[in-house]
Structure 1
């Protein structure tokens, strides 16, 4: 029997991973007709976060519970991974896709060695391919900031820049790629330039081309909308993330702020935080040596990580310094939110 392929999509973060996952989850039945399985594993429908969460205790024995997985419970790795191996063996006539960006951000050497040992049980049935998209560090950081605020953070944009610039474990791609190559080998990795793939093909088309999916029979409009927060909503969120307000809003906090964002005029929604040219250059300088190594080894010396000229020029809608909301600004946002969500006679 011809071996099928097990695809492990590991991110990176801020490269449209959730969009890919939602479309795959929405189309499980149609994909199965193409002999491609996107299994539901664990408590979440859209992604297999249980799989990296089960490796947490191997890499972080002092923090064995994965904070990104519902329940905040310690998970038995053997139970989870033996279950997945049994599933794969029972479905060896299909390609299988699993997707979880926490494989790239949380799984370290011990977890990868364990993963290698478990997956060796599938060597006679599946080829292994590890898919990873890279996004240049300055853009990666900019997108990370809004995620931190959405998650309840209160840090300002300038302090965020200063604290995240030196975080090599998160932003140094050579460290990440070397970690996976040392365990699975160079040939197992499929490494893509996120920005180029979006421009040339579109993210979904890029991913479908990699895994051999025909999109003609798929529904590509996911029901799970990711609402972008402009500067004004970011600053409102920082206020709402104070202990007093966050306890009042509870689980409704993100939905409320999404509603505020949707109620704004388009001009206001276009105002977003972006690094200034000096900050952007400092980021690329800091990661230059690592980025050149990645460009040479994986992209035929294409300087997409080290060439700042590909950055769009700042426009009026991009802001480099923190905005202070006035009482009138806040009142205006609440008025727009109210009028958008309520019928007024």
Structure 2
């Protein structure tokens, strides 16, 4: 019996992969492949590594054990019951706990008990876009503790992704790396199809068809409905003395609504791109090291305008962006 542990990274299409594996539980099991029920938080096995995290912004919303052996024993019972050729476990939280190296590797060792072979699947993407996606997620969900200094989120997440990648490379485990950019349109088959196909071509075909059907329906589990302009305005609202008051009252939907309220704003939405947003955040890693180190979370309006100018936004667009931010300040601060 073999065990494959998919450890993320975050923002590499993990939700789509986990959703496909969970939705096809019966089909996989029929073909001697197990996506266990043990430790599931929605469609990922986050409760298993989550035992090493006393506090977590998402996992704390459910009743969960902090004892790794609780889940490891249940997992061993489930595997023993089904005797699969391949068991697949998936959660990005395995990577979140890698700062506790011995604890992370200890849980993996405990999971390995019933298996003959254990390997790691590490999914990757362009690190800058990955960090941007995470920063936008934190801003969009208004995750407390970050919004006093949202500019630093991008830099911190970029450092985290590089550190996590390095950890798995030197873990001593057998690691297979797959990149999001190489998926060619069928992400699930790209990530896991060749592995699953080694054990059952029928299971691979089912997963591949499921993914294609979901794509045809326009299903995007983590699709972002918001435009780059909304995030740019959100980051401009951050890193000021007014930020705590603003973010305690405003939702990201409010920001997006204000960005589309006028015809000028709607036209601006089409002009501001992901490249502008990425460049804006990257600008401060060169110009404002104190902000990134949290020595001072505050940025002047002049420095924010300078950053927008540096990434190629024209003066008219910048004026309208500042007007949107000022309207939100008046309403919500």
TM-score, length-scaled by structure 2: 0.64
| 1:136-155 equivalences in 2 (<5 Å) | 136-152=126-142, 153-154=146-147
Show the counterpart of 2:37. Answer: 40
Single out whichever of 155-164 and 254-263 deviates more from structure 2. 254-263
SS at match of 1:275: helix
| 1:138-287 equivalences in 2 (<5 Å) | 138-152=128-142, 153-154=146-147, 158-161=151-154, 167=159, 169-172=160-163, 175-181=166-172, 184=173, 188-195=174-181, 197-198=182-183, 200=184, 202-207=186-191, 208-212=193-197, 213-214=204-205, 215=207, 217-218=209-210, 219-221=213-215, 222=219, 224-235=221-232, 237=234, 253=251, 268=269, 271-272=273-274, 273-275=277-279
CA-to-partner distance for each residue in 1:195-218, whole Å, 9 max, x for gaps? 2x22x4642221223332223552
Change (3 A) 1:173 1:243: closer
Change (3 A) 1:123 1:34: closer
Distance 2:253 2:77 in 1: 39
Alignment match of 1:81 (pick from 48, 72, 79): 72
**Residue 327 of structure 1: how far off its partner (Å):** 4.2
Distance 1:31 1:255 in 2: 39
Asked whether the equivalents of residues 36 and 96 of structure 1 are also in contact (C-alpha less than 8 Å), the reply is: yes
**Residue 246 of structure 1: how far off its partner (Å):** 5.7
SS at match of 1:44: coil
Show the counterpart of 1:291. Answer: none
Show the counterpart of 1:135. Answer: 125
Change (3 A) 1:115 1:138: same
**Residue 76 of structure 1: how far off its partner (Å):** 1.3
**Residue 27 of structure 1: how far off its partner (Å):** 2.7
CA-to-partner distance for each residue in 1:104-151, whole Å, 9 max, x for gaps? 132332223422441342134xx3221002223322222222122123
- Stretches of structure 1 lacking an aligned partner (at least 5 in a row): 57-63, 283-313, 332-345
SS at match of 2:60: coil
- What is the aligned-residue RMSD (CA, Å)? 4.2
Q: Which has the higher helix share?
A: 2
Asked whether the equivalents of residues 5 and 89 of structure 2 are also in contact (C-alpha less than 8 Å), the reply is: yes
**Residue 65 of structure 1: how far off its partner (Å):** 3.0
Asked whether the equivalents of residues 47 and 59 of structure 2 are also in contact (C-alpha less than 8 Å), the reply is: yes
**Residue 328 of structure 1: how far off its partner (Å):** 8.9
CA-to-partner distance for each residue in 1:153-194, whole Å, 9 max, x for gaps? 4366754455556x3x5423563124422xx3xxx2111233
Q: How many residues align?
A: 274
CA-to-partner distance for each residue in 1:270-298, whole Å, 9 max, x for gaps? 6331237986998xxxxxxxxxxxxxxxx
Distance 1:156 1:226 in 2: 25
Show the counterpart of 1:15. Answer: 12
**Residue 87 of structure 1: how far off its partner (Å):** 1.0
SS at match of 1:191: strand
Single out whichever of 225-234 and 260-269 deviates more from structure 2. 260-269
Asked whether the equivalents of residues 141 and 164 of structure 1 are also in contact (C-alpha less than 8 Å), the reply is: yes
SS at match of 2:48: helix
Single out whichever of 110-119 and 64-73 deviates more from structure 2. 64-73
- Stretches of structure 2 lacking an aligned partner (at least 5 in a row): 198-203, 287-310, 329-333
TM-score, length-scaled by structure 1: 0.63
Show the counterpart of 1:111. Answer: 103
CA-to-partner distance for each residue in 1:212-264, whole Å, 9 max, x for gaps? 22235524344735224323322555659966666667xxx567778889999
